[in-house]
Structure 1
């Protein structure tokens, strides 16, 4: 049996390949010129459902400083991906809403991830995939307990 790297290194290598693939597919179409963080923020807002999303939520979810979040959101607003709208109950807060352009980006990103997932999991039996997902969730939980 070949000498395999530790799980953490193997996962990092796989994550690099996945990121590279997604970056390559994102370099065309509606995802062109967007950063991975912008795409992830769009996905986060889209999946928030009916819950209002504010800049503070973005800062917390992505572990970024207020100044970083401000810069990213200002650029996203300039590029017609989001709008900020005041809320009735607090004049200081502005909820973040996605534009139709951002929704198109989200749909394309979802297709790209789905296509990659199909390619990534090709020829792997369902029970093995479920075992991998289970183990990865356990690893994630273990790391979250450490921090």
Structure 2
């Protein structure tokens, strides 16, 4: 790529990553869940006690949209509502065993991609790469407002 078009190279890398992920063993099972549901499963898995209001804030969605998404995820057997001792009206969202398994597979696939991408790089090179990418993002953000 020496002095080549960075945008084209990044797009090419993105396409390679997408193809790699598309060919992973877990992809078909994980794809049984829509993208939004996958993000919500990941969010709940990472944050523990999560309530519908947290989803509204985190994903920038309205109360009615969050309610519909949560209801559908309950119907699909991905999450459950659980009462909390301090307030019977408040219901936290809890992942079902099915969603926990999906979360585990998503994490395994994420780790496989990261390991593959980082192969052969030193910690210093990875640190520099992150710095360069962050600067490129800032450059674009400054131009787009």
What's the TM-score bracket when you normalise by the shorter of the two chains?
0.7 to 0.9
Q: Which runs of 5+ in 2 are unaligned?
A: none
SS at match of 1:47: helix
What is the TM-score when the length of structure 2 is the normalising length?
0.74
Q: CA deviation at 1:65?
A: 2.2
Deviations 1:65-120 (A, max 9, x none): 22222222112111111101122333432100111111111110000001111222
SS at match of 2:42: helix
What is the TM-score when the length of structure 1 is the normalising length?
0.73
Q: CA deviation at 1:136?
A: 4.5
Match of 1:34 in 2: 33
Name whichever of 67-76 and 127-136 sits farther off.
Answer: 127-136
Question: Number of residues paired by the alignment?
Answer: 140
Please report the RMSD computed on the Cα atoms of aligned residues, expressed in angstroms. 3.0
Q: Which runs of 5+ in 1 are unaligned?
A: none
Q: Distance between the aligned counterparts of 1:76 and 1:130, measured in 2?
A: 38
Matches within 5 A, 1:109-124: 109-124=106-121
1:21 and 1:34, CA in 2 relative to 1: closer, same or farther beyond 3 A?
A: farther
Q: Distance between the aligned counterparts of 1:92 and 1:16, measured in 2?
A: 46
